[in-house]
Amino acid sequence: MTEEEPPGTYEDLPQILDRLTVQQLPFTQGRINVSTAAPAVLATIPNLTDAEVNSIVEARQQVPLAERSSAAWLLTSNAIDENRFRQILDSITTKGSMYRIESLGYADNLGVVERLMVVIQMRGPIPQVIYYRNLNELGPAYTPHGDERRDLAGRSD
């Protein structure tokens, strides 16, 4: 029995990884972004050695950001070998679906300030609030009009 060539090449891999899956779930939680994760976080990926973690960190400094939009860069840059790539593929990603928002709202005429921090996670088209915190006790992040102060009638000092 001879081993057949795979139907695609490394050049096809970014599109394949972006569009196809072998999982039935619409969302997979807990993947590590290999394009941005700190070395200590990469070290938590099962089956990765310290040498492979170092290789990934060094390689991503050389790989242009546009090429790091798919996990295929791990292979095309020789950061890890194909066997290890197959072992860790279910644990990694290069996409982010969690966003931190800090919002400052104010009403000039009333002197009311509201400061919030919210972390949302996108699960398909539906954002879900993961964390919510009222930051009013910290005061405004900035003065809306710089150092200028206004009274309730809107007059400057």
In tens, the pLDDT along 89-121 reads 888 888 777 788 998 888 777 777 888 999 988
Residues 6 and 117: their CA atoms lie apart, in Å, by 47
- pTM for the model stands at 0.56
Residues 63 and 56: their CA atoms lie apart, in Å, by 10
Residues 3 and 9: their CA atoms lie apart, in Å, by 16
As a whole-number percent, the residues of the chain with pLDDT over 70 amount to 71
pLDDT digits (tens, 9 = 90+) for 40-84: 999 999 889 999 999 999 999 998 888 888 888 898 899 999 889
Contact (Cβ atoms closer than 8 angstroms) between residue 149 and residue 112: no
Please report, for the chain, the start and end positions of each structural domain, with discontinuous segments joined by +.
13-18+31-93, 98-137
Could you give the dihedral angle defined by the CA atoms of residues 63, 65, 8 and 77, in that order, rounded to the nearest 10 degrees?
10
What pLDDT is stored for residue 121 in this prediction? 82
